[in-house]
């Protein structure tokens, strides 16, 4: 079954390997076993579209963040696209409709506005480079918003609100996955295309990265999507262990809130250090699909896998 996966951190892993300044250590996107989302694993798992996040670690000094972002964009072009002819860059949403069966679409996203600081020219440049989904923060605060790990729990700043407006104008998703509760509500109010690229249900696992029921319902009412994440600590409270049935509990719960047509998958592969049993990398997607088919109709599972995203993506 064809899959749309809306979050991975393969670009960061590629960049870290490149920054060893030893060319023999640069991970090979085609088949490196260190990559959960290598081309071969995506192909084996039936992934039709993979989102690739630009993510800058908070330890990177502010004046080096833009350089780090450009390095990751460069690796997206040279290693992900350039060396794998069947990887196709999705630069506009309707290009997903023209993928051939043997092609895998690649979507560039940004996880954290600190990459561009307060320089909206840089943001416009990122749109031109193909960024189609933008999360304001990782867990730390930046000039646009507080992240889910900030104790003060602030929402969007004036700059953050301006960025949401620019996302709307560019038909870019505004990702709530690392937002504070207050930031979430600011985004749901202002964004034409609110989106949770990799978050679960907080009623099932009380973690700051997950969404309360009223948040999930608001997303669904606004036409937004919630893509469930395969990171065990976001699945089972205080646990590094989870199996596929635990992931399905989150799907069941989000469906009970009205989300059957508006949920999908956002693995967080290459950004996580513990794994769901039998779902350790992108090649294992059929294990999840087969288990879901025991609980849901084929149409519903196709919805989770890709059709829900296609139905609710920006135009
Ligand atoms: Zn994340």
Tens digit of pLDDT per residue, the chain (315 long)?
999 999 999 999 999 999 887 777 889 999 999 999 999 999 999 999 999 999 999 999 999 999 999 999 999 999 999 999 999 999 999 999 999 999 999 999 999 999 999 999 999 999 999 999 999 999 999 999 999 999 999 999 999 999 999 999 999 999 999 999 999 999 999 999 999 999 999 999 999 999 999 999 999 999 999 999 999 999 999 999 999 999 999 999 999 999 999 999 999 999 999 999 999 999 999 999 999 999 999 999 999 999 999 999 998
pLDDT of residue 20: 80
Residue 28 Cα, ligand 1 centroid: separation in angstroms? 23
What is the pTM for the complete model shown?
0.97
The helix-helix angle for 120-129 and 158-169 (nearest 10°) equals 30
Distance 95 CA to ligand 1 centre (A): 25
Ligand 1 centroid to residue 195 C-alpha, Å: 13
Q: Check residue 29 and give its pLDDT.
A: 97
Residues 6+ apart with CB under 8 A from 115: 54, 56, 65, 66, 68, 69, 122, 126
Cβ 116 vs Cβ 69: under 8 Å: yes
Distance 140 CA to ligand 1 centre (A): 11
Ligand 1 centroid to Cα of residue 279, in Å, is 18
* 199 CA to centre of ligand 1 in angstroms: 9
Q: How far is the CA of 135 from the centre of ligand 1 (A)?
A: 9
Q: If you measure from the C-alpha of residue 211 to the centroid of ligand 1, how many angstroms do you get, rounded to a whole number?
A: 14
From ligand 1's centre to the CA of 1, what distance in Å? 25
CA–centroid distance, residue 268 to ligand 1 (Å): 7
């Amino acid at each position: 079954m064809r899959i749309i996966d809306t979050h991975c951190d393969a670009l960061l892993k590629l960049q870290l390997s490149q920054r060893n300044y030893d060319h023999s250590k640069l991970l090979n996107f085609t088949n490196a076993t260190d990559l959960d989302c290598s081309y071969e694993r995506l192909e084996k798992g039936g992934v039709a579209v993979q989102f690739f996040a630009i993510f800058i670690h908070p330890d990177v000094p502010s004046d080096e963040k833009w350089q780090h972002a450009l390095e990751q964009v460069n690796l997206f072009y040279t290693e992900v696209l350039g060396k794998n002819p069947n990887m196709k860059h999705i630069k506009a949403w309707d290009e997903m409709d023209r993928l051939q069966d043997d092609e895998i679409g690649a979507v560039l996203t940004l996880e954290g506005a600190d990459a561009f600081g307060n320089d909206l020219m840089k943001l416009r440049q990122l749109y031109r480079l193909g960024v189609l989904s933008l999360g304001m923060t990782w867990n730390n605060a930046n000039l646009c918003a507080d992240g889910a790990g900030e104790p003060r729990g602030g929402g969007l700043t004036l700059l953050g609100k301006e960025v949401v407006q620019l996302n709307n104008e560019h038909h870019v998703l505004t990702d709530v996955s690392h937002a504070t509760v207050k930031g979430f509500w600011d985004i749901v109010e202002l964004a034409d295309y609110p989106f949770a690229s990799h978050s679960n249900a907080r009623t099932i696992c009380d973690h700051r990265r997950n969404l309360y029921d009223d948040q999930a319902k608001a997303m669904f009412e606004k036409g937004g999507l919630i893509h469930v994440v395969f990171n065990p600590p976001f699945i089972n409270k205080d646990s590094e262990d989870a199996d596929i049935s635990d992931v399905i509990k989150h799907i069941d719960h989000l469906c009970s809130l009205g989300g059957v047509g508006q949920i999908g998958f956002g693995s967080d592969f290459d950004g996580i250090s513990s794994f769901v049993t039998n779902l350790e990398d992108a090649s294992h997607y059929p294990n999840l699909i087969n288990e879901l088919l025991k609980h849901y109709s084929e149409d519903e599972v196709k919805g989770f896998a890709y059709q829900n995203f296609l139905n609710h993506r920006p135009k």
